[in-house]
Amino acid sequence: MSTQNPVFIPGPTNMPEHLRRACDLPTMDHRSAAFADILHPALAGVKAVLKSDKAEVFVFPATGTAGWEAAITNTLSPGDTVLAARNGMFSHKWIDMCTRHGLHVQQIDVPWGEGLPVDAFAEALAADSSHKIKAVLATHNETATGVVSDIKGVRAALDAANHPALFFVDGVSSIGSMNFEFDAWGVDIAVTGSQKGFMLPAGLAIIGVSPKAMAAIDGATLPRTFLDIRDMAKGYEANAYPYTPSVGLLNGLKIGSQMLLDEGLDNVFARHARIADGVRAAVGAWGMELCAVSPDLYSNTVSAIRTPEGFDAGRIVSHAADAYGVAFGAGLGDVAGKVFRIGHLGMLTDVMALSGIATAEMVMADLGLDVTLGSGVAAAQSVYRAGRTQSAMAAE
Ligand SMILES: *Cc1c(COP(=O)(O)O)cnc(C)c1O
């Protein structure tokens, strides 16, 4: 695998050189004033990226998966019911984690490629007059299928039922690349990791916690130690951690969140929308279809592309790696072998995206698929040229 080619997996994402250097620090006393100058700007940066005034941000030396675990173990008790839908690998794994922790999952199964079933959530919440459901789990962007869901709609369903359940959102593959509004959407815990929208190496579980979720912590009896938010909060008051923090990664988070804010969050989201539009134009030019079943569900951070019936999509991923040193995402779970994924989250430009589209074309042509070389590239070029013209005009 070439170390110079960009990656097109949906995380870990491409690291800007600037951020790689930000993570490379000499050993530092993590109880010193210098550490406080890393920690607090990093937390404040995440909070701004979440578009929140009220979230408390906690960062664990772990990955997004631990963020799921921090959300449930800090706020729930054994036997509690959570409401969740399963529409891809990541929602599936979060549900599995809840089950393993002794929670009861009221599960709604949805075909992979569809979004979270807002109407079914609304029905389930309205029917739950005794408020057995303690939390609603929602995966904002299903990375396995390239499907974005309507988080605002799930919030509206909670509100319409006047339901007090906590609202937990997995934003691992959306936060920092697609619009995410912690306060406006009434999110109680948002979960992400360092290696996706924040453009860093893996190693940080990042969560935003609402005052309502903070208030649930003392009454919750699921066991937690390493991920106990109370210990972390006490640490932060003393500018420290309850254990040894990943200082270099936290410095990366400080600089990385600042990079997003400097570009302007809405500009970052527009960049991802444009890049994704180009990828989708290419997919159309190849005569192929996305796994996501309708345009309102198309993700701006990852496209899962269906390959022709009877063709093993995994061959695209392995041939791209072997022949061209480029990484695409494989299909997972129910769609293994049926889709390959082009990840376009994190640090990506139009020009980088074109190289991925061009590579995918070479790979598919090599494997005998009926794809005209240059067709997808040309389609994406049109999108990117039009986008450039727009932004140039906006700048004038
Ligand atoms: C990557 C991902 C995760 C898992 O995060 P890790 O950092 O690998 O533990 C969870 N949810 C979604 C939507 C993801 O894309």
CA of 63 to the centre of ligand 1 (A): 8
Handedness of CA 135, 139, 144, 147 (dihedral sign): positive
**Residue 5 within a domain:** no
- Alpha-carbon distance of 141 to 147, in angstroms, equals 6
Q: What is the pLDDT of residue 371?
A: 97
At 34 the pLDDT is 93
pLDDT confidence band for 394 (50 / 70 / 90): low
Tokens of 192: 């992400």
Q: Do 258 and 268 sit in the same domain of this protein?
A: no
Same domain flag for 173 and 64: yes
* String of DSSP letters for 157-216: HHHHTT---EEEEE-TTTBTTB---TTTTT-SEEEEETTTTT-S-S--EEEEE-HHHHHH
Burial 209-229 (b: 16+ CB within 10 A, else e): bbeebbebbeebebebeebbb
Q: Is residue 134 part of a domain?
A: yes
User: 188 with 166: CB under 8 angstroms?
Assistant: yes
Ligand 1 pocket, mutate which of 72, 148, 172, 303 (most atoms under 8 A from CB): 172
Residue that the structure tokens 């009896």 belong to:
221
Q: Is the pLDDT of residue 396 over 80?
A: no
> What's the total number of domains in the chain?
2
> Could you tell which of 91, 139, 140, 143 is best to mutate to test the pocket of ligand 1, judged by most ligand atoms within 8 Å of the CB?
143
List CB contacts of 142: < 8 A, sequence separation 6 or more: 87, 88, 89, 90, 91, 112, 148, 149, 299
pTM of the model: 0.97
370 inside domain: yes
Q: How much is the pLDDT for 393?
A: 61
Give the domain-ending residue among 227, 262, 297.
262
As for ligand 1, residues whose beta carbon falls within 6 Å of it are 11, 63-65, 90, 139, 141, 143, 170, 172-173, 193, 202
Q: Is residue 384 part of a domain?
A: yes
Per-residue pLDDT at 392 exceeds 70: no
Residue at 25: amino acid letter: L
21: pLDDT strictly greater than 60 = yes
Q: How does residue 357 score in pLDDT terms, banded at 50, 70 and 90?
A: very high
Q: Are residues 348 and 249 in the same domain?
A: no
Residue 395 pLDDT exceeds 70: no
141 and 233 fall within a common domain: yes
Which domain covers residue 271, as residue numbers?
264-395
pLDDT exceeds 70 at position 28: yes
96 in the same domain as 238: yes
Residue 277 resides in a domain: yes
Considering 214, 237, 262, which residue would you say is the last residue of a domain?
262
| Angle between helical axes of 118-127 and 151-160 (0-180°, round to 10) | 20
Q: Which H or E run includes 138?
A: strand 133-139
At 184-205, the pLDDT tens digits run 999 999 999 999 999 999 999 9
Q: Are residues 163 and 248 in the same domain?
A: yes
Which H helix or E strand runs over 287? Answer: none
pLDDT for residue 2: 83
121: domain CATH number is 3.40.640.10
Cα separation, 195 vs 63, in Å, equals 8
Helices (H), the chain: 17-23, 33-49, 64-75, 89-100, 118-127, 151-160, 211-216, 229-237, 247-263, 265-285, 314-324, 350-366, 375-395
Same domain, 270 and 257: no
Is there a contact between 85 and 117 (Cβ–Cβ < 8 Å)? Answer: yes
Per-residue pLDDT reduced to its tens digit, 103-162: 999 999 999 999 999 999 999 999 999 999 999 999 999 999 999 999 999 999 999 999
Q: Is residue 9 part of a domain?
A: no
Instruction: Examine the domain organization and report whether 243 and 136 are in the same domain.
Output: yes
CA 191 to ligand 1 center in whole angstroms: 9
290 and 251 in a common domain: no
Q: Is 96 a domain residue?
A: yes
Rounded distance from Cα 93 to ligand 1 centre (Å): 10
From 87, 90, 96, 112, the mutation candidate for ligand 1 (largest count of ligand atoms within 8 A of CB) is 90
Domain-ending residue, one of 262, 281, 296: 262
Quickly list DSSP for 72-106. HHHH--TT-EEEEEE-SHHHHHHHHHHHHTTPEEE
Mean pLDDT, to the nearest integer, of 290-301?
98
Structure tokens at 134: 């303690």
- Do 166 and 133 reside in the same domain of the chain? yes
CATH number of the domain that residue 368 is part of: 3.90.1150.10
**Among 29, 8, 84, 13, which Cα is nearest to 259's?**
13
Residues 6+ apart with CB under 8 A from 180: 49, 50, 51, 140, 151, 171, 174, 190
**Average confidence score pLDDT of the chain:** 96
pLDDT band at 387 (very low <50, low <70, confident <90, very high): confident
Q: Kindly provide the b/e burial profile for residues 70-100, where b requires at least 16 CB atoms within 10 angstroms of the residue's own CB.
A: bbbbbbbeeebbbbbbbbbbbbbbbbebbee
SS3 69: helix
Work out which ligand 1 atom sits closest to the CA atom of 195.
7
Tell me the pLDDT band of 215, cut-offs 50, 70 and 90: very high
Q: Are residues 122 and 245 in the same domain?
A: yes
For residue 383, pLDDT beyond 80: yes
Q: Pick the atom of ligand 1 nearest to 174's CA.
A: 13
- pLDDT, mean of residues 18-28: 96
360, 329: one domain: yes
